[in-house]
Amino acid sequence: MKTRKLGSDLEVSALGLGCMGMTAVYGPAADKQEMIKLIHAAHDRGITLFDTAEAYGPFANEELVGEALQPIRDQVVIATKFGFDIDPETGARGPGTNSRPEHIKLAVEKMLQRLRTDRIDLLYQHRVDPAVPIEDVAGAVKELIAAGKVKHFGLSEAGVQTIRRAHAVQPLAAVQSEYSLFWRGPELELLPLLKELDIGFVPFSPLGAGFLTGKIDENTQFDASDFRNNVPRFSPEARKANMALVEVVKAVATRKGATPAQVALAWLLAQAPGIVPIPGTTKLHRLEENLGAVDLELTSEDLGQIDQELSKFEVQGERLPEAVLKMTGL
């Protein structure tokens, strides 16, 4: 497995594994023991970065990841996230964000227990809290780093000024936001800033929540609990219109002897050396397919063709529900 660096010194596999969908969000939770096997299979194939969050469940995803990685803890990088108003004892979810320093420190203590570890390798603020200055958040994480409970600091879905201010207090190893051929918003301001400050970038939904695999069309029926039912971009009308994007990816995949998913991930890897996508899956064959992207070389001609074709096309539908978009800095 090829490796990349997030920030100045956090070395991880070129692809990570997003674990969110193993316990919720894309439908009912998968079988726990099967997911533990899948996480072990990912590590056996060279993946070292595993991404979770207290909000996934809440708590169930961290518990799964902690149990799965406990036997190989020193061989992996665990990334998790705080920032919502979740009661650390009961899991009851409040209405909004909570990044008060005392809440962060309490949340981290509970995370360490669920993850069965004595340190968190990469701790993200999940969403920016408008009620708490980002300097206070970064200061709290800095104290946790000094105490040895956290190794590296990250932000998720944060705007460029927030990133600058946080980085001035506690250097950031990584920023996590949505980025794919389906959503290229970070290219305008975020990617240039991360290059300037030497901060790594961890794109979530690198396959457009499954759309870029070519396995979804306007007739696809999602489980009633699948979050995509509430995403404007996944309305049947938007899916039908956005198939033009998938056809571009399919054409490149056919020429390269690859799959659309592999092309979409290889395109991300080609954008900058500090980009580490975290595609999620609950299926071993999809995991192996995704890993094939690491060795798929897209030439400058391939990349130019993709850009040229996509310049003719505008993705239909917002990437997230309106209420969620209001919580992001992008």
The set of catalytic residues is 56
| C-alpha distance from residue 138 to each of 85, 100, 101, 151 (Å) | 18, 11, 9, 13
Torsions phi, psi for 86 (to 5 deg)? -115, 130
Pick from 104, 88, 80: nearest CA to 20 = 80
Q: Do 123 and 144 contact (CB within 8 A), yes or no?
A: yes
93-97 and 84-86 beta bridge pairing? antiparallel
**H helix or E strand, kind and range, residue 54:** none
CB neighbourhood size of 136 (10 A): 15
* CA 244 – CA 314 distance, rounded (Å): 10
Q: Distance (Å, rounded) from C-alpha 134 to C-alpha 272?
A: 27
Instruction: For residue 266, give the amino acid letter.
Output: A
Dmax over CA atoms of the chain, in Å, equals: 54
d(C-alpha 292, C-alpha 261), whole Å: 9
Q: In angstroms, rounded to a whole number, what is the distance separating the alpha carbons of residues 202 and 179?
A: 9
Give kind and range of the element (H or E) at residue 13. Answer: strand 10-13
